[in-house]
Chains A and B, each alone.
Chain A
Amino acid sequence: MLSIVDIDYGTPRATSEKTVELQIDGRTLNVPEGTSVMRAAAQAGISIPKLCATDMLEAFGSCRLCLVEIEGRKGYPASCTTPVTAGMKVSTQTPKLAEIRRGVMELYISDHPLDCLTCPANGHCELQDMAGVVGLREVRYGYDGANHVHAQTKQGEANPLFVAKDESNPYFTFDPSKCIACSRCVRACDEVQGTFALTIQGRGFDSKVAASQDNRFLDSECVSCGACVQACPTATLSEKSLIDKGQAEHSVITTCAYCGVGCSFRAEMKGEEIVRMVPNKDGHANHGHSCVKGRFAIGYASHPDRINTPMIRTKISDPWQIVSWEVAFAHVASEFKRLQATYGKHAIGGITSSRCTNEETYLVQKLVRAGFGNNNVDTCARVCHSPTGYGLKATMGESAGTQDFDSIEQTDVVLVIGANTTDAHPVFGSQMKRRLRAGARLIVIDPRRIDLVRTPHIKADYHLKLKPGTNVAMLNTLAHVIVTEGLVDEAFVAQRCEPEAFAKWRTFVAQEKYSPEAMAAQTGVPAEAVRGAVRLYATGGNGAIYYGLGVTEHAQGSTAVMAIANLAMATGNIGREGVGVNPLRGQNNVQGSCDMGSFPHEFPGYRHVSDVATRELFEKAWGVPLLDEPGLRIPNMFEAALDGSFKGLYIEGEDIAQSDPDTQHVTAALSAMECIVVQDLFLNETAKYAHVFLPGSSFLEKDGTFTNAERRISRVGKVMVPKAGYADWEVTQELARAMGYPMNYGHASEIMDEIARLTPTFHGVSFDKIDRLGSIQWPCNDDHPEGTPVMHVGEFVRGKGRFMLTEYVPTSEKVNAEHPLILTTGRILSQYNVGAQTRRTANVMWHDEDRLEIHPHDAEERGINESDWVGITSRAGDTVLRAMISERMQPGVVYTTFHFPGSGANVITTENSDWATNCPEYKVTAVQVTRVSQPSEWQKRFRTFSSEQQALLDQSVDTLGQP
């Protein structure tokens, strides 16, 4: 079912700038060339009956309901498949058309159940609507003949055409008895999602929709994105939530709180209850598509595990005391003041979250800088994309990606390095796949054979299956080929880049040691494949690089980002549509949390704290003196906690005890602090070490904005009151007041107004403008009043592009006899980050435990069979997981996800980090893997500790005197 508020124009928008004049029902219209007659009519408010057409999909012409008459043409062409032509005269309503349409509907209804009143689609059923529109009054064929409707024939025999309802998917049902075989679901799976899981099986009257080889949906290749459910014109594919709750009565535009794609959604509501989430067709990041997380996995927001009252305790071995907000704020303020009085102003700090809104993040860093009086503020981007900020700023002058997602529509060669788009950024992954099916070429650089390498109708031209930890070696050897084979875009470089830095870089990468032949031993990739790939990137037309955490989460993460920027500049692939350097951000607001000044060394808008003019601007606005020296990064905070100088931490929406590397080091640091304040939806792993718990609000409970991987600022819309009474920004505001630093915002929009006032790249941003335009890509100011889809056009933000030297320095994390394998970590489609949200939804049906992927060769050597328990040991720690034997891995490399805390993936990872930003080296850990029969010692301790903490929560004392 489509959104309750969207208008369906039947066929996609035509993009031609040339217009065509025609007449429909006597009205003269001008529409872009390539528009269908159906769409031209719909845009003028003339509805032509239709069933198999919808504007998310290409025209199909199967239902024969949208027939029209065109002057001078024979017969009755389908308006969906007929493009407009100049001077065309179309009639959409004639007696003959009415007769044909009634005949078509009569046939449909003769094989359809007549349970409209109790049907979940009732109210928004397109079949029902069309029966009404065409004036169907009788079905002359009766209902007793061959049909797909009834399980049994009149004679009591099994009906061979009948297929029972498939309820295997946790979020939607498939009821073939209501199917009209319009193919919209099949086409949505093909065209929109690109999974090709559905098909029409059989011919003629036997035709039916089937998932994979006539499997249940859950057992098929279906990835549960829901595009088919959205496309279905009847109740054949229906959300279970719609079946339970009935039709929504209003719709609110908001932005998904999962990954960095930042899909726009319509939350379809009944009062304060969500009936379903429907991706917004007008959404600029997702154009009406979504994945299983954004559309379906929102149950965590109303999960019973949520804690909706503040709690405090003196020691982490004490039961929690439930207290009022006032008591909690006063307690935190008094503790933080005590710590500063005892240990110094710098003894406390704060951590902002990429899951919170821009406004909330901004307030936390403001509280730290202005209220705490130090710069000890950091954000979880530290552990994911901090190298992106560093590397892109150094080379091009701005800490952000250069393009919008739609830029890929103009891309000829897609180069993906260290990004698993179909799992981690699924909606953009679908857009990428669409472009690849349309003919763009593909280079994948990844140690694993990710799905994109070979997926229906797509095959990478090159998969450079490098050894983990050799990204910089690989990028340098690509650069070597560009320089030595004359593939440099000399005109671009001469005009746009610093000549001295370029000359130095050219000499540097031309060194023989970086030739593909010399580097093959390091990277494990044959020289010919390297040369072929780079020739394709440099000469294949518009080349665009997409990268993710497989680039940043390395000891040389920042070097690799700069090497990527070097490649794009050297080949002139910057500053126009179809090209660029595109970091795919992990969490929904990674870009935003960085923009908002969450890093200890810079104010909002990436301005260093030592910059006098900026500091004075903020001092004046905030009314307090501000420090001109950087504060502590998250790993520095841990070190300082362990040496006794750092004692208090305010953590908003972040779970460092699970997400940060070397868990035992993190928990030791947390245990060394005296006042840890966690603001979150759940008692997460970090909260088990906390002294104060402040209940957070989900994205459904507040207003604000998120900024996605394209720098796109989109609105988060409040659809229900916060369960604990306060939106997160209000909690920070109250905390600031209690600390003696007044903040007085009445609405989140006022915070954005302040951000806009103080940040040049945000000068033109306001909630009103975002609501008016749908979304805005910063920079948005007087020069770019409606935002900036493509950056560095004509000139780099820093003026001239700067080539940086990128020496390959092998990581110190090396395999040896004791630890002969390399462990690398990543994500899976159905789960999100630490899993705090998705583990509390039915998404666990796809992934209910983290497994260790291991190559058959390595498994055989160790006597490991599928699903065996295996111990994984690194120099940092050990854990136990079940094995999954997989040829996606290369021999010598093992892989796991980190979505479940008990898996202890980060007990294994080490303290190694990026030289520039301390982003952890999650992707390279030397390990040994052996068959075992019991959990690791850490896991046993973890389970004991977790159950103790659960008991302390269960024993919590209610000081509010409520029954």
Chain B
Amino acid sequence: MSVITASGLTKAYGNNVVLNDISFSLPEGKIIGLFGPNGCGKTTLMKILSGLIHDYSGEVLVNGNKPGEKTKAITAYLPEQTFVHDWMRNIDAVDYFNDFYSDFDKNKALEMLKRFGLSEKQKSKTMSKGMQEKLLLSLVMSREASLYILDEPMGGVDPATRGAILDFIMQNYSQKSTLLISTHLINDLESVFNHALFIGKGSVLINDSVENITAGGKSIEDVFKEVFSNVW
């Protein structure tokens, strides 16, 4: 069964067409890598799925529904940038999620904060980018969501911590859920993906299982280089 379906999806910023009439469906219960070069529309696609971009044409369905109130209740989205209010302390952010998401596990979130060495009383605006990313990850991964959308989850984290964060994601996501992760750090994450979606120049270039993609003995990163050296 498909958790995400897009048909004829087109999104342009002025004259710049980022997604050009693309259609695809993504399977449920998989860890899906979303790959593509900078500016190819990965973040735009994730924002559309999360209900943050509305002026697109075509149809997008998440669990059979258009992005909106219903899909937001089952989707946990981690954007590329930090998003908590400046006035919030870490505990306020945890309480905020606890108030609005019925699938949020407050104890799990507090445990995660402790594990990351983040104080409950610390204000988000006084934290470094890496610390803020850890906070957001703790919040998002403490939900029992059907779909996790993670946009560059390790973008601002030092290489030493990446492995720990990856373990953290793998341990904390609900096993029945689908994970859609966009990343440029293909090497670090390659082992966890079981499906991949490659987009570039507004089109879907590959949408297949990792097993099929790497059948010829190539790694995902090799395939990425091969595909995008021709496209760009």
Partners in one complex: no
